[in-house]
Amino acid sequence: MSQTRHRHAAGDTIARHRHDDHQLLYVSSGVLAVHTDRGAWAAGADRAVWLPAGTWHQHRAYGLATVHALSFALDDAPLPGDGPTVIAVTGLLRELLTAATEPDLTAGENRRLRAVLRDRIRRAHVEPVTLPQPRDPRLRHACRLVEADLSTPRGTAWLAARVGASERTLARLFRSEFGATYPQWRTTVRVFHAMIELADGATVTQAGHRCGWATTSAFVDTFARTMGQTPGAYRSAAVIPRVPR
């Protein structure tokens, strides 16, 4: 088992790779977008990404990102190994993750921190902000069209005409592959990209506009209901680096 702490400037990328052990990625400042063959996840000050062993993935940093990476042996996984997921990071878990990546920990300190850390990770709430990778080529095309211009609302009729499917078929694909309606999926996409915009320094108004909300108040309401905090609070945590511990 190992743990590291390092910083990335905005725009830094880590090429596609995988690990023999399980890995938990936590970002105490900035945002790290993690892309895998199954979809995309965002690690930030209040969320960590769990990557089972063997998962091919690549990263991109938004804002000044302080990344805490902890590995877990195959027979010592605190979370299921069937696929990546995002867990909420609050209070004690946040402190444990930053403490566990301090340099020069003794073997005894590391062992005791890890014991408590495993317990808290097992109790962590799984978060919903995930962008699954679509399998059907028509759905994949539709998703790309939406993400290419979030500021412009796109209805299912517009999308269906461009991907060569009926509205009914497209709606069925969203439900079968994502377990959500098109509006529900689009809201998740907009929140995901708003997280990145905020970490990159955009104001709350700018992030809301770029991600397709008609008013700032509507953006604040949706973001708060989805993330459990206002976009202003999220931006403050992501943009202002925490003091290393």
Q: Which residue has the higher pLDDT, 2 or 231?
A: 231
Per-residue pLDDT band at 69 (split at 50, 70, 90): very high
Q: Which residues contact 208 (CB under 8 A, 6 or more apart)?
A: 194, 215, 216, 218, 219, 220, 231
CA 236/CA 131 separation, integer angstroms: 24
Point out which residues pair with 126 in neighbouring strands.
Answer: 87
Per-residue pLDDT band at 46 (split at 50, 70, 90): confident
Domain ranges of the chain: 3-130, 134-239
Structure confidence at residue 47 (pLDDT)? 85
Instruction: Identify whether the C-beta of residue 212 lies closer than 8 Å to the C-beta of residue 153.
Output: yes
Structure confidence at residue 240 (pLDDT)? 53
Residue 241 has pLDDT above 70, yes or no: no
Domains 3-130 and 134-239 share a fold: no
Q: What is the value of pTM for the model shown?
A: 0.74
Point out which residues pair with 67 in neighbouring strands.
Answer: 6, 27
SS3 content of the chain, % helix, strand, coil (to 5): 45, 25, 30
pLDDT digits (tens, 9 = 90+) for 187-221: 999 998 998 898 888 999 999 999 999 999 999 99
CATH number for the region 134-239 comes to 1.10.10.60
User: How confident is the model over 101-123, as a mean pLDDT?
Assistant: 91
User: How confident is the model over 73-84, as a mean pLDDT?
Assistant: 86
Structure confidence at residue 167 (pLDDT)? 95
User: How confident is the model over 72-86, as a mean pLDDT?
Assistant: 86
pLDDT digits (tens, 9 = 90+) for 138-192: 999 999 999 999 999 899 999 999 999 999 999 999 999 988 999 999 999 999 8
Q: Which of 2-6, 40-44, 96-100 is predicted with the least confidence, judged by mean pLDDT? A: 40-44
Protein fold of 3-130 = Jelly Rolls (2.60.120)
